[in-house]
Amino acid sequence: MPAGRRNRCERCYWTSTALKRIEIDAAAFSSPATAAAFRDFGLWLINATGPHKAAQKIHRYLQFFLNINDQWPSCANYHALLDIFGAEGLHLARLPMRWLRETRGIVADPALREADSERRRIDAIHASLPKGSKGSNALVAFANTLRTRHAEGKTSLRSIRLALSPAASLLRRCDQDGRKLPSQAELDVFLSASPGQLAAITGFANFVNNAFGGKLIPRVDQLQIVKARRSALEGKLTNLLRQDLGTDDVLKRWIPCAMEYFHNVPARAVLTLTERDVTLDDAGAVVTLKGIKYWVPI
């Protein structure tokens, strides 16, 4: 028998300790129904994890139940819990959610969870611009037109986020304080840096034209894109030259860049190369891809 515990076994000691701590925490609730739910959870936790762990961990779950103090048991469904905690919050509350699943049949709804995550990402995009600023107001108005389409079943929350994200980036590039709308020159600079955003930014550009009398033309200079890509590849190759490359590094890092730079073969096309496809010599490497041999310097 452990010292200081009289004639009680260890399990009895920790069970008694866990029950006392459950009662201490239960006194924090103004709602008797929530206090009862917390006690139920505590008893379940003792059985699920053992009394020792339950005694050590019960207090960390108090906040979860305090957050639903005035709403229990009306919030005993996944949709309501999602509104209170969000998808990330419920993910962190793993044991309370397991208790709800096992004792009340509350299970996660993947569609609702994903929708909540998208809404919170959209909220974060809005928060990236000062509330009430010209840029923020334009973004909100654009979002409202997208939400109307969503309500009509014509677009998804994910598509809304993908449209708002580059719009917010463009507005921040124009002015971090959101005091102005983009000019054609600023749109051109944005697209020269992120040409892949052409399709995504077009909707916002058209909205600015229609709602604010803008004259934006989303466009990408293909020659400029090629120059920018070659410049980026030159930078990667120069950086790699400064490193002591082993055989694996040559295969996985140097050759994809060199193939694109010297032969216009996209890097993704050589990701499946193996050592058998590459023959090294003193000056470079012969790469065999789909039956064609390419030489690149090393």
Query: What is the Rg, in whole angstroms, of the alpha carbon atoms belonging to the chain?
Result: 30
Separation of alpha carbons 192 and 195, rounded Å: 6
Question: Is the pLDDT score of 106 beyond 70?
Answer: yes
User: What is the model's pTM?
Assistant: 0.70
**Region of residue 178 (phi > 0: left; psi between -120 and 50: alpha; otherwise: beta):** left
pLDDT tens across 43-86, in order? 999 999 999 999 999 999 999 999 999 899 999 999 999 999 99
Question: Is the pLDDT score of 16 beyond 60?
Answer: yes
pLDDT, mean over the chain: 91
Question: Is the pLDDT score of 269 beyond 70?
Answer: yes
Give 132 or 226, the one with higher predicted confidence. Answer: 132
- Of the given ranges (114-123, 150-159, 185-194), which has the lowest mean pLDDT? 185-194
Within 152-282, residue ranges assigned H as helices are 157-174, 184-193, 198-212, 222-241, 247-249, 255-263
pLDDT at 223: 83
pLDDT at 239: 87
**Where is 287: in which H helix or E strand?**
strand 284-289
Taking the domains of the chain in order of start, what are their residue ranges? 10-108, 112-212, 224-297
**Region of residue 77 (phi > 0: left; psi between -120 and 50: alpha; otherwise: beta):** beta
Report residue 194's pLDDT band, with 50, 70 and 90 as the boundaries.
confident
pLDDT at 270: 83
* Mean pLDDT value across residues 240-253: 73
